[in-house]
Structure 1
Amino acid sequence: MQSIRNVAIIAHVDHGKTTLVDKIIYASKIFRENQEAGELILDSNDLERERGITITSKNVSVRYQDVKINIIDTPGHADFGGEVERVLKMADGVLLLVDAFEGPMPQTRFVLSKALSLGLKPIVVVNKVDKPNCRPDEVHEQVFDLMFNLDATEEQLDFPTLYGSGKAGWMSTDWQKPTDNITPLLDAILEHIPEAPQREGVPQMQITSLDFSSFVGRIAIGRVYQGKLEEGATMGLSKRDDSIKKVKIKELQVFEGLGKAKVSEVQSGDICAVVGLEDFEIGDTLTSFEEPEPLPRIAIDEPTMSMLFTINNSPFFGKEGKFVTSRHLRDRLFKETEKNLALRIEETDSEDRFLVYGRGILHLAVLIETMRREGYEFQVGQPQVLFKEVDGVRHEPIETMVVDVPDTVSGKVIELATQRKGELLIMEPKGDMQHLEFGIPARGLIGLRNQMLTATAGEAVMTHRFKAYEPYKGPVPGRINGSLISMDMGVGTPYSIDKLQDRGVFFVDPGEEIYMGQVIGEHTRGNDLVINILKGKKLTNMRASGSDDNSKIAPKKEFSLEEALEYIQKDEYVEVTPKSIRMRKIYLDETERKRMNAKIEAQ
């Protein structure tokens, strides 16, 4: 029986977690075929590489001194809370990775609190100590304070600390004495992380994540808690409704390096993949059919935000996307719920509109971006916060928002947050920066990032995480400016855009095709304005000096997907296709819009 250690890695976005795991893989002499030097192995999908964040958890395993170490990479964002909880269930200990300058950040706190409450033993790694103006000793104290505040036990507070640089590939117990390799970290894992217990008895394996292969279909991944699994055995699958279904294990695989290796049996304590189970979901337990002993199901955080998804019915329908019908959209959304635990989908009265519930704008934006890259074309409405009734009082989700900002502009940040019902909880200096913490309604966060970056000239670093439901805080001011709306369909001309530049900022360039009802700019005033940018210049034979100067047009304002979702009003949609992101009014015709607005006001 081999000795096994199961370790999850926790870190804030961009503190170097995935880079460190890559270095551990290299240190244990596993090189992927044709692996290009310097390319990240773990963040494998395009979105993860572009945004520099981990969205889905990954499993790799390395061997060191005859011990198998299973490393589980966890997402750092609170929006992916559904991922985090089930992933930590597989671990016996955690590596807490902290940046030597920034110290523990809010997202780290979120995952760490989950890990400590599960009783996992932490090892702290202070990373990036080779950066200028880093402060490893202060950060070490901050981590201790954080764990103390999160009610860590005496044993958890007695954590070992290593210092080093994942990028440079070294770790040491003293940051002033660099080594030339990463083995001190591997030694610490063997010494401090408890060995996975070998439990005899009825086999138990909880399915905590999924994989998919076009050859064998869906693959269940999880940790064997008790007993052992054997290839070809007939087992029972305990479902959500406590029923037991008979299943057969066709094939077993364990994680070896970056890939999987086929085995005939898996002992308790190891993490494995099971092929051949039909119709299972995350949280089900694989156990004996005759004497089932199911494990308790995994509790998942409730969604805090909803968004309407509907088919694209704009005049440009079907020009750029492959999958455009309501059946395509419905199938794709329901397929997502199989592995995206924190997502819920509700069908509405109309068959081409779906309400999608998620953990936050980032959670939903990642789904939209993924679908768009797969060739889907659809529209989404304004994100809506979910309210709850508690003892007859309306409650809303409150988030803890942390902003690090230069001293000189901290006043602007506080002003913006308090306008949106934010409450300043902590204000302390951090080098030349001010560290601010607010309690703010989730409604107040929608569209706040843009305003904050403008007010601080792009210097504010803002993160937030869900805190709790609290009584309704009252109305929050939304967007002040109205929209500029196109009057007709066609191609915008430089002449007319030039003449209308005093009316606002444009989101389209001359020569772009637009349609009636499309939002093509932001009005300087609070009302919507319908304009015509298709008119060309009337040509005459007369020439006048000075009046024939070339048009000077400001470049259009570009929106990312999240910015567009945060920008739109209640009566607008974001149209998403594989090539474009456009904003439009729900009712494209001006008279119909007026009629609908009058109807809403009359109610």
Structure 2
Amino acid sequence: MPLAHRMVAAATICAAVETGAFLLPGARNHPCRTGGPLLTGARPSSTVQLTNGTPAAAFADVRATDSSLAASEADQTEREDLRNLAIVAHVDHGKTTLVDAMLQQSSVFRDNEQMGIRVMDSNDQERERGITILAKNCAIKYQGTKFNLVDTPGHADFGGEVERILNMVDGILLVVDSVEGPKPQTRFVLKKALELGLQAVVVVNKIDRPSARPEYVVDKTFDLFCDLNANDMQSDFQIVYTSAIQGIAGDEPDAMAKNMEPLFKAIMGMPKPLVKELAPLQALVANIDYDDFKGKLGVGRVHSGSIKKGQTVGLGRPGGEVKTGKVAELFVFDNLGRTGVNEAHAGDIVMVAGLSEIGIGDTIVDPANPNPMVPIAVEEPTVRMTFGVNKSPLAGREGKFLTTRMIRDRLMKELDRNVALRVEETDSSDAYEVSGRGQLHLTVLIENMRREGFELLVGPPTVITKQVDGKTYEPFETVEVQVPDEYTGAVVDLLSRRKGEMLNMSPVETGGDAKMTNVEYLVPTRGMIGLRNSMLTATRGTAVLDTIFDSYRPYAGDIEARDKGSLVAHENGVATPFGIAGAQSRGVMMVSAKDEIYRDMIIGLHQRPGDLRVNICKAKALNNIRSATKSISDSVMVPIEVNLDMAVEYIQADELVEVTPTKIRMTKNSQTAGKSK
């Protein structure tokens, strides 16, 4: 249905919507919302405790009927000179590129300064993977108003970053692709924002794409707001169309300005921070950073009162002990960096140094009148892996950090800033059980440790189950796959064999000649482990796979394991061309000539079920006719390149991944492996 017709129909159906509700350009009211009155002027509360995903106190607007709340908020004022907002989006919808354009046009960079691509993605893995992993702050000035921008991850595995960051802001820029529209992880981050009562400006990005379909995308976004039970004011979102790569924006897709001015004006119209300047100090810590000279740094928003450099403050949580400390340094964000200040006021996002015991979820308070805020509850992990000491025959040759104590200290340090992570001891003194929001969440941590000089033995990912009334429940994920029509059957077969339940299958309007199908499934998280590589193989690399955690459901039963076994090294030594040439007829190799090999190391993929031991260290005997490697090297095929993500997906319960600063190897677990063939 065309957008104009939809809005007229909504006005007719929904009797609760007042006459004239559709006068504003781009307005969206909420005809499908059920329950609760029409809220006008609703504002997010300073603190929200979530229980099972339900906001306990999403809006301060109830003061109209609650005299005690009205009295407590009578001293609230709006800061005209400040806007705090987070930029949220699905992976690869142009969120970080949009921040680049905003920074460029706000004169953050000098005219003669060379600006990089995706300057906010400062982490090496972020640049390599093309995704945002860590939430980061920056600030720009526009017509005397300061915009505090928080660039958040788009991948659901890093949802812990999103959940705690949203408590620092008053609104969000929801970026959606002009062709793809809202995706599963768009839903995830928007759901978190709406639960906190935040309002959104919808940014339809990549409007310059030839196949752009902005009206379709806006309608789909509106439907998503309806599905997530957004209130009427949230559904009345403003729309801005942008091409981040070109640095242009507009209020209509066919009326684009020559710069980002329409987007800046839309931000100016977002909610202003509600502050209590005269109330006791409250600053909720949402992030932790480290400095080689200043030590641990806490990042958070001052919700009430003010904080000064050199001030003695309290640090605590509701119901806990309040510890005291002194603010050694105080910073606010300025452009891409931070600037030291002597004092910060309610509404400011600050960075505090000098409080060595500060942690995410703590509240910086006035020690004479402590009133810690309730931190946002973070969703529980769904996947776990074991991290242990490297015990392979090649251990200790490359890494600097090898012992159990070093691994434990590093994991404990990670807990300080990674709120969605859990670390537990195991029966073995050499291994720890690490739980996270998904496989990617954990492999990013492993990769960081590898680059820092750690050596590890990592176990296969397994899901975390729950017992409810004597029954086993396991996590399920909503899976969305966009694939060319000719490979739809292969995708359906793969997901069905992994206990998937089809939710929807429909053609995709791409605006081009290619015929694509969108397939949606509900699949146990167990079935998703190792699926990505299989799907890329089955679809010749053409499938686009997106997943999001759905819920815990009854155990789905056994899921078929990997249909092929491994080629396992028979003895220690160095791989030779002659040995590899003889073994590659049995499967696909994962090692090259001259690689060091040890017994039980996985060196290839067997072409049949079950493991097979092969000797690839044997050399051809010399004779007086030709050399030992004559014509052999030419017949050796190029091996599969093994990286961390591929190895973690590949291994099963009786296998491990050996991680060193330069090598990724796989091996049979000597404690659990049965006899190989």
TM-score by length of 2: 0.85
Matches within 5 A, 1:137-152: 137-152=215-230
1:601 is matched with which residue?
A: none
2:395 is matched with which residue?
A: 317
1:569 is matched with which residue?
A: 652
The whole-number CA distance in structure 2 between the counterparts of 1:302 and 1:466 is 11
Query: 1:200-248: CA deviations, max 9, x gaps?
Result: 3111000000111111101111001111112222221113751111222
2:298 is matched with which residue?
A: 220
The whole-number CA distance in structure 2 between the counterparts of 1:65 and 1:394 is 57
Q: Quick one: which of 533, 551, 567 aligns to 1:450?
A: 533
Q: 1:511 aligned to 2:589?
A: no
The whole-number CA distance in structure 2 between the counterparts of 1:490 and 1:34 is 56
2:188 is matched with which residue?
A: 110
Query: 1:161-215: CA deviations, max 9, x gaps?
Result: 0112001000000111221100110111102333443543111000000111111
2:670 is matched with which residue?
A: 587
1:306 is matched with which residue?
A: 384
Shift, 1:312, TM fit = 0.7
Q: Which amino acid aligns with 1:425?
A: L
Shift, 1:541, TM fit = 4.0
**Which deviates more, 264-273 or 242-251?**
242-251
Name the CA shift for 1:168/1:264 in 2 (closer, same or farther; >3 Å): same
Name the CA shift for 1:328/1:33 in 2 (closer, same or farther; >3 Å): farther
Matches within 5 A, 1:15-414: 15-31=93-109, 36-239=114-317, 242-414=320-492
**Which deviates more, 508-517 or 450-459?**
508-517
Q: 1:428 aligned to 2:511?
A: no
1:12 is matched with which residue?
A: 90
2:554 is matched with which residue?
A: 471
The whole-number CA distance in structure 2 between the counterparts of 1:342 and 1:367 is 12
2:638 is matched with which residue?
A: 555
Contact 1:2 1:68 in 2 (8 A): no
Helix, strand or coil: the match of 1:134?
coil
Name the CA shift for 1:526/1:27 in 2 (closer, same or farther; >3 Å): same
Name the CA shift for 1:241/1:578 in 2 (closer, same or farther; >3 Å): farther
Contact 1:6 1:196 in 2 (8 A): no
Identity, in percent, stands at: 48
Query: 1:341-384: CA deviations, max 9, x gaps?
Result: 11111112332111111111000000000110111111101111
Provide structure 1 residue ranges, at least 5 long, that are not aligned to the other structure.
599-603
Q: Which amino acid aligns with 2:133?
A: I
Shift, 1:289, TM fit = 1.1
Contact 1:232 1:248 in 2 (8 A): yes
Shift, 1:30, TM fit = 0.9
1:502 is matched with which residue?
A: 585
1:530 is matched with which residue?
A: 613
The whole-number CA distance in structure 1 between the counterparts of 2:602 and 2:297 is 45
Contact 2:283 2:302 in 1 (8 A): yes
The whole-number CA distance in structure 1 between the counterparts of 2:279 and 2:229 is 34
The whole-number CA distance in structure 1 between the counterparts of 2:633 and 2:650 is 32
Coordinate RMSD, CA, aligned: 1.9
Q: Which amino acid aligns with 2:533?
A: N
Contact 1:32 1:258 in 2 (8 A): no
Shift, 1:543, TM fit = 7.8
Shift, 1:151, TM fit = 0.6
Shift, 1:2, TM fit = 6.0
**Which deviates more, 551-560 or 527-536?**
551-560
Query: 1:482-526: CA deviations, max 9, x gaps?
Result: 111111111111122212222111101122111111000111121
Shift, 1:594, TM fit = 4.4
Contact 2:401 2:453 in 1 (8 A): yes
Name the CA shift for 1:224/1:542 in 2 (closer, same or farther; >3 Å): closer
Helix, strand or coil: the match of 1:260?
strand
Contact 2:317 2:373 in 1 (8 A): no
**Which deviates more, 166-175 or 229-238?**
229-238
Q: Quick one: which of 521, 528, 537 aligns to 1:438?
A: 521
Contact 2:656 2:666 in 1 (8 A): yes
The whole-number CA distance in structure 2 between the counterparts of 1:200 and 1:133 is 53
Shift, 1:63, TM fit = 0.9
Q: Quick one: which of 546, 549, 565 aligns to 1:482?
A: 565
Q: Number of matched residues?
A: 592
The whole-number CA distance in structure 1 between the counterparts of 2:118 and 2:502 is 39
Contact 2:137 2:149 in 1 (8 A): yes
Shift, 1:33, TM fit = 10
Helix, strand or coil: the match of 1:525?
coil
Query: 1:86-122: CA deviations, max 9, x gaps?
Result: 1000110110001101111111110000001111011
Q: Which amino acid aligns with 2:466?
A: K
The whole-number CA distance in structure 2 between the counterparts of 1:88 and 1:121 is 11
Contact 1:196 1:270 in 2 (8 A): no
Name the CA shift for 1:196/1:187 in 2 (closer, same or farther; >3 Å): farther
TM-score by length of 1: 0.95
Helix, strand or coil: the match of 1:379?
strand
Shift, 1:25, TM fit = 1.1
The whole-number CA distance in structure 2 between the counterparts of 1:336 and 1:342 is 10
Q: Which amino acid aligns with 1:137?
A: E
Name the CA shift for 1:207/1:195 in 2 (closer, same or farther; >3 Å): closer
